[in-house]
Structure 1
Amino acid sequence: MKTAEPTPHTETTAARIGRIAGAWFPLIVLAAGTVAVFLPGPFLVLGPWINPLLMIIMLGMGMTLRGSDFAVVAKRPVALLIGVLAQYVVMPATGWLLVTLLQLDPAIAVGVILVAAAPGGTASNVMTYLAKGDVALSVAMTTVSTLLAPILTPLLVLFLAGSYLPVDAPGLFLSIVQIVLIPIAVGLLLRRFLPRVVEVLVEWMPLVSVFGITLVVLAVVAGSAATILSSGLLIFAIVIALNGVGLLLGYGAARAVGLDESSRRAVSIEVGMQNSGLAAGLARTHFTPEAALPAAIFSVWHNVSGSLLAAFWSRRAPAARRGAAKVDETA
């Protein structure tokens, strides 16, 4: 779910609605999760629709991709490499450490590791934009980590969670290809051969993404409402820790290799915000509804924490930009 700086004179109705939906996204997801916990019945029918909804969101991502999104790979390989390595090293290692130390129920442990081994979430692009971070780097990280997910996510889950529950790595691979790669490929083809149609559809994709993710949260939380009420506080604490470590160490890794402030913000948000919807879909398909619980709570929390961090950084221009502003003032 990418965004661009709106221009008041040319902003369309669709773009305006999408921008407003994106601004209210954390509260919408938080409200949806709360309602589904205490009134799960009406939303249980959404369970079979989780994967189709994720496919629609990934289709939208494919339609928004441009050649310039991949140019970062060639122009700034170090920044991208550090970001993707942090994504697939920091988060899985943290998730494994948490479930090992706390000796969680096997289903919950697998759910935590699934979230930790997932690629970056598309909402991170919006948060990076709001945080005055490097949006191009964020988009490239989301794209590359998503394309690597069919290989890395099953292998990481097999390696880190195989002792908790049987892991069908080939099945995970096929599910991720179906949910992620095929829709993205279709989106790219649509953009290539039906550009005018896609230009119209893309303006509505932020709204579609908000709506889709909200329905996924409703479905997953409703399916695990009883577990949330009985042990939700512990899982919530684990989710907060996992997200917080990702944000902190993502920033630290970028700083350690000398990336500028805007890139550090992008890497931090990208590493800390996971594609928890994908993790929830995989958990329900290959494990149990309880295994989807960490992903459901993560879906709510990482959008809240991401928004708070973006709001904090939005009031503080990156150092390079502040320096440029001073030069402009003295010119």
Structure 2
Amino acid sequence: MVSGVNCDCLDYFEGRIILKITTILTRFFAVWVILISVIAYWQPGLFLGIKPLVALLLGVIMFGMGMTLKFEDFKSALLQPVPIVVGVLLQFGVMPALGFGLALLLELPPEIAAGVVLVGACPGGTASNVMVYLARGNVALSIAMTAVSTVLAPLVTPFLVLFYAQQWLPIDAGSLFLSIVKIVLVPVLLGLLFKRFFPQLASQGEKWSPSISVLAIVAIIAFVVAANVDNILTMSVLILVAVILHNLLGLLSGYFISLLLRQGSEECRAIALEVGMQNSGLGAVLAQAHFSPAAAIPSAIFSVWHNISGSIFASIWSRNTTQGKQNE
């Protein structure tokens, strides 16, 4: 009996410790990214050795994402298809087009222009699910959109990059397709199957998944910064402007277009955050593998900025929801 109580106590304290670590890492994600970026900028040699591990790190993130999904998430897409179809069409319709337009408007260098289009053509990221929850949006819709856009990415992302970016760089759509299958689709499916057949182990893994994902993204960004010290020095302000406009226009387009299409308030918030927040880790890995280190810079900056803007929008929408309920 005593040993059982001790075991329960250990599980309780272990859970509290994991929760504390996860909270610190995820809540201050932007801070860690900025901090590691500064270190990587001044001491690039410390992080260049990460290069062979970049694709593996993203695969680990996607495996963790797969463990958080359920086959029921895909069923909801069939049961309530309209908001998901609206959201996914906006995801893959608005963001690449915005990236293309901004690249022309700001006269970005070819590699940077292709990088902006690439991050716009990526599927939604898992951070958006958290932001939708904080914004009092439709979390189920957000998760379903992330799942559907991720599964569609191997086909849709290469096509969009080829369509918009071929004027700047040679695009091998077939090679992009294979890369996305290997580093996104396969790990996500393995995570789904692992959760299905080993639920207890998956439950334990889910506790650590957010922390591991944050550390993996931070490591990827550290390498991108370290490999682009000279480019960042000469083009940082221009790229930052492009990324901020890309993200904000995506958020606003997602919200107001879905509003025009008569989606509910919670659905509009979910769609806006899904459209505006990209899987920038995937963008960085694909840019590094298929274009150049410089093409990965927009994705690295996007990783920081979309968490900042997402938090701001989530806070505003959450506050408006609370005030609305108080006024009723």
- Does the alignment reach a TM-score above 0.5? yes
- In the aligned structure 2, how far is the partner of 1:16 from the partner of 1:63? 21
- In the aligned structure 1, how far is the partner of 2:190 from the partner of 2:318? 35
* Letter matched to residue 263 of structure 1: E
2:7 paired residue number: none
1:47 and 2:35 equivalent? no
TM alignment of 1:305-320, pairs within 5 A: 305-317=309-321
Cα 1:9–1:284 change in 2 (3 A) is closer
Task: Indicate if the aligned counterparts of 1:235 and 1:294 stay in contact, CA closer than 8 A.
Answer: yes
Q: Percent identity?
A: 48
2:79 paired residue number: 75
Task: Indicate if the aligned counterparts of 2:29 and 2:214 stay in contact, CA closer than 8 A.
Answer: yes
Q: After TM superposition, which residue ranges in structure 1, 4 or more long, deviate above 4 angstroms?
A: 8-12
* Letter matched to residue 100 of structure 2: W
TM alignment of 1:152-171, pairs within 5 A: 152-171=156-175
- In the aligned structure 2, how far is the partner of 1:291 from the partner of 1:67? 35
Give the deviation of 1:67 after TM superposition. Answer: 2.9
- In the aligned structure 2, how far is the partner of 1:294 from the partner of 1:77? 32
1:18 paired residue number: 22
Of the three residues 276, 280, 284, the one matched with 1:280 is 284
1:133 and 2:159 equivalent? no
* Letter matched to residue 69 of structure 1: D
Give the deviation of 1:16 after TM superposition. Answer: 3.7
2:265 paired residue number: 261
Unaligned runs of 5+ in 2: 1-11
Of the three residues 221, 230, 241, the one matched with 2:245 is 241
1:290 paired residue number: 294
1:110 and 2:114 equivalent? yes
Higher helix share: 2
Task: Indicate if the aligned counterparts of 1:262 and 1:318 stay in contact, CA closer than 8 A.
Answer: no
Give the deviation of 1:326 after TM superposition. Answer: 6.5
- Calculate the aligned-residue CA RMSD, in Å: 1.9
Task: Indicate if the aligned counterparts of 1:132 and 1:318 stay in contact, CA closer than 8 A.
Answer: no
Question: How many matched pairs?
Answer: 317
Task: Indicate if the aligned counterparts of 1:37 and 1:229 stay in contact, CA closer than 8 A.
Answer: no
Of the three residues 211, 214, 232, the one matched with 2:215 is 211
Task: Indicate if the aligned counterparts of 1:33 and 1:300 stay in contact, CA closer than 8 A.
Answer: no
TM-score, normalised to structure 1's length?
A: 0.91
* Letter matched to residue 233 of structure 1: V
- In the aligned structure 2, how far is the partner of 1:105 from the partner of 1:52? 29
Task: Indicate if the aligned counterparts of 1:27 and 1:304 stay in contact, CA closer than 8 A.
Answer: no
Task: Indicate if the aligned counterparts of 1:19 and 1:206 stay in contact, CA closer than 8 A.
Answer: no
TM-score, normalised to structure 2's length?
A: 0.92
1:188 and 2:200 equivalent? no
- In the aligned structure 2, how far is the partner of 1:124 from the partner of 1:72? 18
* Letter matched to residue 87 of structure 2: G
Task: Indicate if the aligned counterparts of 1:130 and 1:311 stay in contact, CA closer than 8 A.
Answer: yes
- In the aligned structure 2, how far is the partner of 1:12 from the partner of 1:76? 36
